[in-house]
Amino acid sequence: MNSDLGISLIVLGAGLSAIGYLILNSTPVLVLGIAVLIMGLLAAWGEGSLDRTQLELARSGWSNISALLESIGTASRAIYLPSSATEAGTSMALVPLVRPEPPSIRLPRGGFAIRYGSEGETGILLYTPGSIAVSKCLSVGAIGGDVATSLTNCLVNHLTVARGVTATPSEDGITVVIRDSRVGGELYGNELTRAILGSPTASLVASVAAESLNSPVVIESEEVRGGRDVVIRLRVIGHGP
Amino acid sequence: MVLKRLLITQLVLYTVVIAFLAYLGVDDFAIYISLVTLIYLVTIITAHPLPPGTRRVANVVTAVLVAVFLYFAITRILQILGVAFI
């Protein structure tokens, strides 16, 4: 069972049935309780199953990206850039092909494979789940100068993809703990894309943090703690252009 | 979206029918459960195709409701025929 709505309806239905049968001795209330219980069963097992199918269908795009990265032979971690670092004005991820250096120029609009460094560094510029999250949160003003507040406002209050966020500054970076992330790993599974971009949850966190700090950010590590919390360590690399 | 529409339709129909029967003073559990079964079957059929998770549960609930309905129907028919059963 994966739905709070379903469980709530089941409990409400059981309660109504018990009250109708034992206390009120009323058949209509008893039957209404049974009807609500049935609706709860449908909701509990059904909600989200169509979304999961759609997610699986959408994985083909990420499989192509994974194949592309594999054929290029890159294994560098992506650098999450704030929107000010791209001419398109969108938060994106740069996968460096040679050296993992942050760009010193604003990255051109419409580029996919781009040359960005003074020494001819090249990389691949990708839209990530975090790009979409940042554009959605920027449109409602949920991202500001403080990382912890921005993460909470964006991921918990606006997108509701997690129950809670804690951000702690650490040496040359930030440690973020996401409680009960609702973003599943189905988006791109365990392919190479995950090793480079991080999990979808980590991608959201890195993009929002980069936008809030206005600095490029790299996901250093991520681990699941206690089965519910995801601990993501971000490294801030330099300042935006 | 399919599930949301189904649940809203069911909730409206259950509430209207149960409230109407209560207003008429009906107190027979068999009548209520028969109408709930009817509403459930009609709404499930009109919402076809259901998402995979819902389909399995819907089949189980259908079997249970139809079994309960058959129990009451057979009991009534036997009563009408005057057959005594244990």
d(CA B55, CA A137): 36
The total domain count for chain A is 3
Both A53 and A143 in a single domain? no
Residues A161 and A143 reside in one and the same domain: yes
Above 50 in pLDDT, residue A1?
no
Q: Is residue A241 part of a domain?
A: no
Q: In chain B, positions 26-85, which contact chain A (CB-CB < 8 Å)? A: 26-29, 32-33, 36, 40, 50-54, 56-58, 61, 65
Residue A109 to residue A41: CA distance in whole angstroms: 49
* Weakest mean pLDDT among A164-168, A183-187, B34-38: A183-187
For A61-70, A182-191, B65-74, which range has the lowest pLDDT when averaged over its residues?
A: A182-191
Tokens of A95: 């996968």
Which range of residues forms the domain containing residue A37?
2-72
Residue A161, both tokens: 């993809």
User: Where is pLDDT greater, at A61 or A206?
Assistant: A206
Residues A133 and A232 in one domain: yes
Q: Which two tokens stand for residue A92?
A: 């994106």
User: Which chain A positions have a beta carbon within 8 Å of B53's beta carbon?
Assistant: 45-49
- For tokens 């973003």, the residue is A183
**pLDDT at A210 (0 to 100):** 92
Do residues A144 and A199 both lie within one domain?
yes
Question: B79 CA to chain A: closest CA distance, Å?
Answer: 22
**Residues of chain B positioned with their CB less than 8 A from the CB of A30:** 29
At residue A67 the predicted structure's pLDDT band, cuts being 50, 70 and 90, is confident
Q: Is residue A59 part of a domain?
A: yes
What's the pTM value of the predicted model, to 2 decimals? Answer: 0.69
Is A55 in the B-facing interface, judged by CB distances under 8 Å? no
In a domain, A144, yes or no: yes
Domain boundaries, chain B: 2-81
Identify whether A38 is part of a domain.
Answer: yes
The predicted complex's ipTM stands at: 0.88
Is the Cβ–Cβ distance between A74 and A196 less than 8 Å? yes
Return residues 17-36 of A near B (CB < 8 Å): 27-28, 30-32, 34-36
* Pairwise CB contact (< 8 Å): A49 & B56: no
Residue A120 lies in a domain: yes
Token pair belonging to A90: 């969108």
Q: Are A198 and A223 in contact (CB under 8 A)?
A: no
* Shared-domain flag, residues A186 and A231: yes
Same domain, A144 and A119: no
A90 in the same domain as A45: no
> Within this chain, do residues A30 and A62 fall inside the same structural domain, yes or no?
yes
Per the domain annotation, does A7 fall within a domain? Answer: yes
- Does residue A143 belong to any structural domain of this protein? yes
Average pLDDT score over residue span A69-81: 85
Question: What is the distance in angstroms between the Cα of B53 and the nearest Cα belonging to chain A?
Answer: 5
Q: What is the pLDDT of residue A38?
A: 92
Of A135, A130, A125, nearest to A65 by C-alpha is A125
Residue A9 included in any domain: yes
For residue A4, pLDDT beyond 90: no
Mean pLDDT score across all residues of chain A:
85
Q: Are strands A173-179 and A217-225 parallel, antiparallel or unpaired?
A: unpaired
CA A166 to chain centre: 15
